[in-house]
A and B are shown apart, each in its own frame.
Chain A
Amino acid sequence: MEYILKNGIVFDPKNNVKGEQMDILIKDNKITDEVSSNAKVLDVTGKLVMPGGVDLHSHIAGPKLSIGRLYRPEDIRRGIKPPSRNDISGFEAGFSLPTCPTIGYRYTKMGYTTVTEAAVPPLEAKHAHEEINSIPNLDIPTLTLFGNNWFMLKYVKENRLDDLKVFISKWLKLAKGYGVKIVNPCGSEAWGWGKNVDGLDDAEPHWEVTGRQVITSLTRVNEELGLPHSVHVHTNDLGHPGNYETTLETFDCVKDIKKNRNVDRNQIIHCTHVQFHSYKGTSWRDVSSGATELIDYINKHNHLTCDVGQITFDETTTMTADAPMEYDLFRLTGLKWANKDIEVETASGLIPAIYSQHAPVSVLQWAVGLEFFMGVKDPWKIALTTDSPNAGPFIRYPKIISWLMSQEKLQDMLDNDVHSWATKRTDLGTYNREYSWDEITVITRSSPAKILGLEDRGHLGLNAKADISVYDIDVDDFDPTLKSNSETIENKLLNSKYTIKDGEILVKDAKIVKLVKSNHIWCNVKGLENSERLLENRIKPEFNKYYTIKYENYGVNDHYIKPDTQVNVEYMGENYESN
């Protein structure tokens, strides 16, 4: 199929297109520069055109979601929407814990085409992929949890990085994972005994390995393999006042590790939901923002990127492999607590969270997130996330954009809506920045795509994937800086005029018109097959002793990942960029 997307106002930061009126040509699933006379014209004169949205960190499939839905029927009820008569999508259910189909409907309507599931334990990877099969309309890479895996801990402890490299390469194949996720390294393992680790250099009591060792080892291995994405790190001490120092140390601990020569991205470490890791103080009474120091570091260094994890003032659900932190939250709030320890690999925890604009701590967290948006100068180093649903459900992205684009709106909130900690305990009030559409495009499309190493998307250049979103906003006649327009921004961005994925129109005029199967994106390292076989033979006896399923039944069978995109990486030995 061929289309001409005509006369839109196009934002394509990677290709330096900043709001030019132009046509985008689509042939089959790619952007092209020539179409035949059969091409169908979609007139979008004056409308906002961007590449399809890319979310680099969200929780949309796998065991945490299942537990969440199972134990929060009150959240499911809150998001019930009967099927509409003139839409081909079905009913919706769930607010912070949407059902699988609902996730697809809501993201597509927002113009998103790629969403990363950020934490999958390999043991339950089949489950995550099975759920992805029920989510329509997205491309979904999954990040595989390694930060507390016993084999990893053993190799790190014994400094066997070659084995670790082969292990990661093999395990990504087994889990059909895209990249390496590290969550509270060593802390979730310590949770096996009801404990946590305190900071980057507190060794896990049994393994005597520290978070620092895990992060640096996995970063080295990630770069040696040349995986498209860098290590994706949820640093130690999440949600603890005073944790910004750990975060700073984490930023710094990998800075001398060399980046693989073949990768497109700039960073060697991606630190996720930094908002939760940027607090000063010793308790929730004397807590204040530590964002300024972290922002300063990010502005001065190029080896790291981050996403925000912006608070949105909702009743939502927190879910993370950082299980000890969730128990702390349970002690703090007394709300119903869910926990799941997963043998040999990780733990996870969940708890409902109520972020209120009247509660000092929530407001501090909200302001810290916005500080990052305001303070990080280069938008290519940052991505918009809410760590959905942890800080807020993903359907709040448009609301966040409305705050970022209007100082008037933000100031009004600071003056009238939110608790005074926002200005008293953070530097948010000192910024005076308004995001342009170009910058919004970067933090919701181009930057996350680049950070993920998915070069075919996040832009509209020749041969890029034809993933495009069009919003019913007349760019030249619309002032996003006005407070009075912030609701319009939210509504228009929630309901795209067109969402096009792989050259197919999925949404038209805010209605879903087509449902397609989601695509599983995973990373396949080539060139280590022999080493993998040897490692497998060594691992098997241990595996069968300490897991409770057989190694032979462990991996994700191919039929769970149809259709898939296999991102092939040729292993080329040590192949680093020179500094």
Chain B
Amino acid sequence: MSFFFEVLVGGLLSGVMYSLVALGFVLIYKASGVFNFAQSAMVFFAALTYVGLVEHGLSPWLAVPATLVVMIILALLTERIVLRPLVNQPQITLFMATIGLTFFIEGLAQMVWGANVRGLDLGLEDEPLQWLSDKTGINVSKFDLVAAGVAALLVIVLAFFFSRTRIGRALRAVADDHQAALAVGIPLQYIWAIVWSVAGAVALVAGLLWGARNGVQYALTFVALKALPVLILGGFDSVPGAIVGGLIVGASEKLAEVYLGPYVGGGIEGWFPYVLALAFLLVRPEGLFGEKIIRRI
């Protein structure tokens, strides 16, 4: 039984990290209706940049803001060079553009920092929390806890950012109705730039955590893809959805792997979340938090 909980908790905690990546998608989708496939690449890029900087002797504490700056520059360039010319194009076109962007970023990252796998040490060892295992017999990794903590913090910050700050409210306005937002005089480019920067920041955090856990390598982009089923579950435009979805995906895939895996020869983590999400959608097309769509003519 305790083993079950161990798996569950472990799953939930790693799920938190999916949520992190998902958050990046959500932010951008919410504000600009762009389905940003490049988010995963951004995660990879952030992690790689950080590691690269540290390797070149920058202190970890400076490396973080430095990387952040890089991410923001990247975001601004993206808005200026890719998005602005594509304003008012159909969503699919923008989606394709972000795939193109993905290629570019991945290529760039590996060209600058090389393709070989790197470790990333945040100074948290991935070992069970002693007193917890003593008390309950459930092993929970410190690392995971910290990660969860960070994620939680980030969510709170974002929530605050959205509800309290002027820009945040502007973003919501845009999310609700582009025309209206424009009407009240909010420059779309400005909004997009900010959103992408924020998404970049989120990507950085996610990148650091994932990198620290699995090592920084190309495979990171695939882990990041897991954010997609999370999005289906949670809905593309709901922050809480992203969180909850992340938890569900994390937990379910671990449980599935542990309890189902053996029967079907393992390796089901790769697809289980998708099939789960799919099955879920068939029951509830509007997702976890989206409200029922009444299509009027």
Q: Are the chains A and B members of one assembly?
A: no
- Taking beta carbons and an 8 Å cutoff, which residues of B are in contact with A? none
